Amino acid sequence: MAVHRTKGFVLRREDVRETSILLTVYTKDYGKLKLLSKGVRTPEQRFISSYELFALDDIVFYERKKKGFFFLSQCELLDFFPKARESLERLSYASYFVELLDLVTVQGEAGPELFTLLGNCLSFLSERASPKRVARVFEIKLLSALGHMPRIRQCASCAVLLKEAKTKFSLTAGGLLCEKCVSGDRKAKPVLQGTINFMRHIEDLPFERLKHIKVSNKVGSEVERLLRGFITYHLDVKPRSAEFITKVGV
């Protein structure tokens, strides 16, 4: 029986029967996994910090005869990100990160880049960075890593290099359209040059240079609308946490 050890973030937790817990964990070495922990829910131990949402754990697991999930034999908490849990706003965005990552990934595909992305963004939240700005960083870096980044350097239709003036964003085409191609989508909308520049900078810059990047409220709002619409349309997902963030206005 093969035994494995790795680090992982808890994406989802489900209570199973009376005493067991099924965790969805995004691991550094194996990607997303479902791990069953048996006999851990007792009246004396209802709260287990290492099993809570977006906790980072050191885990040991082994394979089960039937496919679909593994048995969790050890789970040691490495980081609970307490600063990201101190306010409803930060907690909501951290929940959004793990839910979105869960929705757009499949089991068993290794993704160390996504593991690092989630860890960096949770650390940003813990360092008092703007939750909205961290969310845009997470979305852009996630889309780029998945190969679904909106086309913002070349025309999404003809692939010509774009000039700064007279471009519009087409949701159906998946990016900006040049002057010649924009007539093909009447629903294409103009976007601020600051929005385009911000998205390009986030995609290009390493994390250590993103902590202090500034964005105006106008550009920030437009980037949020654009990315939320793009994710819904092209990835076909609607995270409940995103709807909650919009509803409560955090």
Q: Are residues 29 and 12 in the same domain?
A: yes
Q: Do 23 and 143 fall within a single domain?
A: no
Q: Give the per-residue pLDDT at 45.
A: 60
Look up residue 88 and give its two tokens: 């409803």
The partner residues of 168 in beta bridges, in order of sequence, read: 177, 190
Supply the pLDDT for residue 182. 92
- pLDDT in the model for residue 213: 83
Phi-psi category of 164—alpha, beta or left, where left has phi over 0 and alpha has psi -120 to 50? alpha
Answer yes or no: do 97 and 140 share one domain.
yes
Q: What is the pTM of this model?
A: 0.93
Q: Which domain, by its residues, includes 36?
A: 1-80
pLDDT of residue 164: 67
Residues 243 and 129 in one domain: yes
Give the helix/strand (H/E) hosting 27: strand 20-27
Q: Are residues 91 and 70 both part of a single domain?
A: no
What's the confidence (pLDDT) of residue 180? 92
Same domain as 157, residue 43: no
What DSSP line would sit under 152-201, residue for residue?
-SB-TTT-PBPPSSS-EEETTTTEEE-TTTGGG-TT-EE--HHHHHHHHH
119: tokens are: 């860890």
Residue where one domain finishes, among candidates 35, 63, 80: 80
Same domain for 28 and 108, yes or no, is no
Ordered per-residue pLDDT tens for the chain, 250 residues: 688 999 999 999 998 877 889 999 999 999 999 999 987 766 556 668 999 999 999 999 998 766 678 999 999 999 999 999 999 999 999 999 999 999 999 998 888 999 999 999 999 999 988 999 999 999 999 999 999 999 999 999 999 999 766 789 999 999 999 999 998 999 999 999 999 999 999 999 998 888 778 889 999 999 999 999 999 999 999 999 999 999 988 7
**Which CATH number does the domain housing residue 220 bear?**
1.20.1440.120
Do residues 170 and 69 share a domain? no
Domain end, chosen from 80, 110, 142, is at 80
pLDDT of residue 66: 66
Same domain, 61 and 160: no
How many domains are contained in the chain?
A: 2
Q: Are residues 121 and 154 in the same domain?
A: yes
Last residue of a domain, one of 61, 80, 99: 80
Helices 217-235 and 88-104 pack at an angle, to 10 degrees, of 30
- Same domain for 43 and 145? no
Contact residues for 224 (Cβ-Cβ < 8 A; gap 6+): 132, 135, 136
Give the chain's end-to-end CA distance (angstroms, integer): 47
Which amino acid is located at 37 in the chain? Answer: S
pLDDT of residue 41: 67
pLDDT of residue 98: 98
CATH code of the domain containing 75: 2.40.50.140
Same-domain pairing of 100 and 43: no
